[in-house]
Amino acid sequence: MWVLALLRRIPWVATGALALLAGAFVLATRTHGPVWLLVVWFAAALLWPPGDGPANIAREAILVSVGMGLLLLYAYQPSYAWRQAIIWLWASVLTGFASTDPIRERLHRRWVARAGMALALSLTLLTSVWGMSPSPGGPRLWLCLGVFCLHPGTGVLLAWMWIWAHEDTLWTRALWGLAAMGVFWLQGDWGLAGLILLTGLSLAWLEGALSAQDVRRVVALTLALAAIAWALSPRVRWRMAAWLWPSQDPSGWGYQLIQARCALSQGGWRGAGPAARAGARVPLALTDFAYIAWSADGGLLAASVLLLAQVTPWMALGMLGLRDGRATTARFRWAVAAWLAWQSVWVLGGNVGLLPITGLPLPWVAYGGAMLTALSLAAGQAIALPLQPARRPPWPHADARGRALLGLWLALTVAAWLMTAYLMAQATPPHC
């Protein structure tokens, strides 16, 4: 019995794909580090809860993304790769433990959601007093004790999944969401505030709580708030200028985006080669611009594989949520899908210049332990939750609205892929 259970946990597709990639990186780096990284990855992957149908497809895609991220980190900074591998093992232990039946049943209660959000918001508020920033002048988002640092804002995002699933009324969810956005606003973390807003609006619209006119009003209000943020925050003005006019200050606010274009142009459609480090010229290549580093080295085919691995989890979880007859589990799956989708498309669009740049990491791929752990816990729960099949979703018009959301996210991802191909085909731009 235990042999069959173990065989069911083996991610066959992910293991085969990553074995080929690890072989290419071994040849490129002339070390056996990628092989040992894959061994750690495989041990952690066995701890993830197995799923059925779309849930297992989402699991395989997530595991492929994590493996690609580890190989990318090893090519640029081996020490970062081993750190991330240890964090991945720890996150997988937590994910596997939290996904067992008795623990999962105890976690999915309203008081757990409220207590988790209250604790995460309290820790996030503490960063205004004791917070630290890895960059001079940046927002102080981390709480550190010695060499151990925690980004409590990711805990707020994780608790937001529970809040949306287990609070019965839209108003209570909205109040929690506004509290989280207010804390992020004070903290200066516009990326996480935007994720709370985008996921909340998407899910409220999916459930029929917002009409198209309501969405237009919220968008107008959001644009007004963005204008206020532009007027009051130099950091917001810097981010927007970097997005809209990077070539006007190629050595200042536009430096990251200009160097990202240079890296893609240097690699071209065929790529500079595994471990060529063509993206090393881009600041924060392993965190904010991991997609550029991967694509510049691997070319358009590697970029396509990464994008497919990004799309598959939220697409599978969204489709699974539309088949779930229980409102609570359907809401949870859709909340996780919306989180993954909006964070992915925002980062991808920012990397290629289609959307404003944000400090968010690319899910599963970029370096960062707190986000990797939070994403793992959320996705592991969404995969492990039992499915109660139903002929139609628990909300009126959810099927059409859910497919529209999935289509929007897919269109944004395809736009990022087309922009990637366009930038790869360009001659080396100036200021490289």
Q: Does the pLDDT value for residue 356 go beyond 90?
A: no
Helix (H/G/I), strand (E/B), else coil: 250: coil
Mean pLDDT across the chain? 88
Instruction: Measure the CA–CA gap between 432 and 426, rounded to whole angstroms.
Output: 13
Q: What's the confidence (pLDDT) of residue 379?
A: 96
Helix (H/G/I), strand (E/B), else coil: 410: helix
Span 295-310, pLDDT tens digits: 999 999 999 999 999 9
Helix (H/G/I), strand (E/B), else coil: 87: helix
| Number of Cβ within a 10 Å radius of residue 170 | 16
Helix (H/G/I), strand (E/B), else coil: 45: helix
If you average pLDDT over residues 402-427, what whole number do you get?
A: 94
Yes or no: say if 432 and 262 are a contact pair by the CB < 8 Å rule: yes
Q: What's the confidence (pLDDT) of residue 225?
A: 78
Yes or no: say if 418 and 84 are a contact pair by the CB < 8 Å rule: no
Instruction: Measure the CA–CA gap between 47 and 274, rounded to whole angstroms.
Output: 29
Instruction: Measure the CA–CA gap between 342 and 365, rounded to whole angstroms.
Output: 15
Span 41-92, pLDDT tens digits: 999 999 998 887 889 999 999 999 999 999 999 999 999 999 999 999 999 9
Q: Does the pLDDT value for residue 416 go beyond 70?
A: yes
Q: What is the DSSP letter of 427?
A: P
pTM: 0.93
Q: Is the dihedral of CA 300, 305, 306, 307 positive or negative?
A: positive
Q: Does the pLDDT value for residue 412 go beyond 70?
A: yes
Q: What's the confidence (pLDDT) of residue 3?
A: 67
Span 363-407, pLDDT tens digits: 999 998 899 999 999 999 999 998 887 777 788 888 889 999 999
Nearest to 87 by CA among 108, 102, 73: 73
Look up residue 14 and give its amino acid: A
Instruction: Measure the CA–CA gap between 420 and 303, rounded to whole angstroms.
Output: 8
48-62, 79-93, 211-225, 407-421: segment of lowest average pLDDT: 211-225
Q: What's the confidence (pLDDT) of residue 50?
A: 86
Q: What's the confidence (pLDDT) of residue 311?
A: 97
Tell me what percent of the residues of the chain surpass a pLDDT of 90. Answer: 52
Q: What's the confidence (pLDDT) of residue 342?
A: 97
DSSP bridge pairs for 143? 150
Instruction: Measure the CA–CA gap between 114 and 177, rounded to whole angstroms.
Output: 12
- Token pair, residue 326, equals 């229980």
Span 106-147, pLDDT tens digits: 999 999 999 999 999 999 988 888 877 766 666 677 788 777
